[in-house]
Amino acid sequence: MSILGRPLNALAALNVSIEARRLGAAIDRVPWESRFLVAGMRRSGHHAVIGWLANALQAEPDPLTYERLRFGQTESGNTVHINDLGLFPLPPRIKRSILQDFRGDLSALNSGKRLIISIEDVGCQSLDDLGVPVGGTWTRVLVKRSVLNLLASRLAYTKRTLEQRGSVPQGMRINQDLLDRIASDLTAAANGWNVIDFDRWSTGDSAYRADVLGGLGLSVDIDPAVTRHGNGSSFTGSSIQSESSDLLSRWKLVEWPDDLLDLLALERNRPIMTEVELDHLGELRRTC
């Protein structure tokens, strides 16, 4: 790095700190019992769960709407969602730009009574190293999904994006690092996380949902509205709510590269997949 570049990077890092403190101060105004931190891998269904939590927090349908991808708010203004605050390992200048995006939303955050922050593609054990204002007391929620269905959704999203834009989105990469992060979350429940099984949640199992809500200190079960952040959009577009039976069988609807099937086959000795998924994997390897 050039000598001239060092002061610029140091200044950018300082400005990140200032912006982060501004955001942190706004977050601190929200009562701790009304703060929810939701983690999930991209395409895990966590945005659908966030919409569900927003309705449960308000005990009525009051969907989140998004003027920008990173900030959502209910019509009542009572609940705010900061989307994908996982700012690392971005360079300081880019971090500063992202944090500055929130500056215009601080007044809305200051007036909100409930806050949901979501983090994507970061293992639960790594959250303390993010360097973002998520300290203090939070209700922590991890949304998990069948590995095969999660990867199938990534494959479908990547194919669609490649056709539309001619490039593969970096955030949808499927590699050993992703599988390792999924494996690291197997201990999330033992470390204070409330784990929501998206596949089971999506079936509308009322007893399961009631149990999950009870663990979060909530009780009202209202299905979320479709948002632009997912809800099966890899396959159906963002205006259609997917049926549960479709969500549970995404693994059947994509072409699986041989190298990915070989990578997944190495996971048989690590419990990131259920016996049913391993049977599915065997079927894929026989037919692909």
| pLDDT attached to residue 4 | 34
Q: Give strand pairing partners of 142.
A: 39, 195
- Per the listing, tokens 């959502």 go with 72
| pLDDT attached to residue 177 | 92
Q: Which residues touch 180 (CB under 8 Å, ≥6 apart)? A: 123
27 φ/ψ angles, rounded to the nearest 5 degrees: -65, -40
| pLDDT attached to residue 247 | 80
- Give the 3-state secondary structure of the chain: CCCCHHHHHHHHHHHHHHHHHHHHHHHHCCCHHHEEEEEECCCCCHHHHHHHHHHHHHCCCCCEEEEECCEEEECCCCEEEECCCCCCCCCHHHHHHHHHHCHHHHHHHHHCCEEEEEEECCCHHHHHHCCCCCCCCCEEEEEECCHHHHHHHHHHHHHHHHHHHCCCCHHHCCCHHHHHHHHHHHHCHHHCCEEEEHHHHHCCCHHHHHHHHHHCCCCCCCCCCCCCCCCCHHHHCCCCCCCHHHHCCHHHCCCCCHHHHHHHHHHHHCCCCCHHHHHHHHHHHHHC
- 288 residues of the chain, pLDDT tens digit each: 333 333 334 434 445 566 667 667 777 777 777 889 899 999 999 989 999 999 999 999 988 888 766 788 888 888 988 887 765 445 555 555 556 666 666 666 777 788 898 888 888 877 654 444 444 578 899 999 999 999 999 998 888 877 777 777 677 889 999 999 999 999 898 888 999 999 999 999 999 999 999 999 999 999 987 665 554 555 555 556 666 667 888 888 889 999 999 999 999 888 999 998 999 898 888 876
> Would you say 235 and 137 are in contact if contact means Cβ atoms under 8 Å apart?
no
What domains are defined for the chain?
5-254 (3.40.50)
| pLDDT attached to residue 145 | 94
For residue 263, count CB atoms less than 10 angstroms from its CB and return exposed for 0-12, middle for 13-18, buried for 19 or more.
Answer: middle
Query: How would you label 176-186 residue by residue, b for 16+ Cβ within 10 Å and e otherwise?
Result: eebbebbeebe
| pLDDT attached to residue 105 | 63
Considering only CA atoms, which of 141, 130, 190, 144 is closest in space to residue 36?
Answer: 141
| pLDDT attached to residue 132 | 46
Query: Within 10 A of 265 (CB to CB), how many other CB atoms are there?
Result: 13
What type of residue is 268? Answer: R
